[in-house]
Protein backbone atom coordinates (compact mmCIF):
# COMPACT_ATOMS: atom_id res chain seq x y z
CA UNK A 1 0.00 0.00 0.00
CA UNK A 2 1.74 3.20 -1.12
CA UNK A 3 -0.81 5.96 -1.82
CA UNK A 4 1.87 8.62 -1.70
CA UNK A 5 -0.57 11.37 -2.67
CA UNK A 6 -1.88 11.34 0.92
CA UNK A 7 1.63 11.64 2.33
CA UNK A 8 2.37 14.46 -0.09
CA UNK A 9 -0.89 16.26 0.73
CA UNK A 10 -0.35 15.97 4.50
CA UNK A 11 3.22 17.29 4.40
CA UNK A 12 2.35 20.07 1.96
CA UNK A 13 -0.53 21.24 4.15
CA UNK A 14 1.57 21.17 7.34
CA UNK A 15 4.40 23.24 5.90
CA UNK A 16 2.15 25.61 4.01
CA UNK A 17 0.06 26.34 7.13
CA UNK A 18 3.12 26.77 9.36
CA UNK A 19 4.86 28.99 6.83
CA UNK A 20 1.80 31.22 6.47
CA UNK A 21 1.35 31.50 10.24
CA UNK A 22 5.03 32.34 10.84
CA UNK A 23 5.01 34.86 8.00
CA UNK A 24 1.85 36.49 9.38
CA UNK A 25 3.41 36.84 12.85
CA UNK A 26 6.76 38.13 11.53
CA UNK A 27 5.07 40.75 9.31
CA UNK A 28 2.83 41.87 12.15
CA UNK A 29 5.82 42.27 14.51
CA UNK A 30 7.71 44.31 11.92
CA UNK A 31 4.68 46.53 11.18
CA UNK A 32 3.94 47.18 14.87
CA UNK A 33 7.60 47.88 15.70
CA UNK A 34 7.77 50.44 12.88
CA UNK A 35 4.53 52.04 14.04
CA UNK A 36 5.68 52.31 17.67
CA UNK A 37 9.06 53.73 16.57
CA UNK A 38 7.36 56.29 14.31
CA UNK A 39 5.01 57.43 17.09
CA UNK A 40 7.84 57.64 19.63
CA UNK A 41 9.96 59.72 17.24
CA UNK A 42 7.17 62.31 16.83
- Report CA dihedral (27, 33, 34, 40) to the nearest 10 degrees: 170
For position 29 contacting another protein by CB under 8 A, the verdict is yes
Planar angle of CA 4, 5, 11, nearest 5 degrees: 90
Does 32 bind another protein (CB under 8 A)? Our answer is yes
Shortest Å, Cβ 19 to another protein: 11
Residues that bind another protein (CB under 8 A): 1-4, 6-7, 9-11, 13-14, 17-18, 21-22, 25-26, 28-30, 32-37, 39-40
Amino acid sequence: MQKLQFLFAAYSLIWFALFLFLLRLARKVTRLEQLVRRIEEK
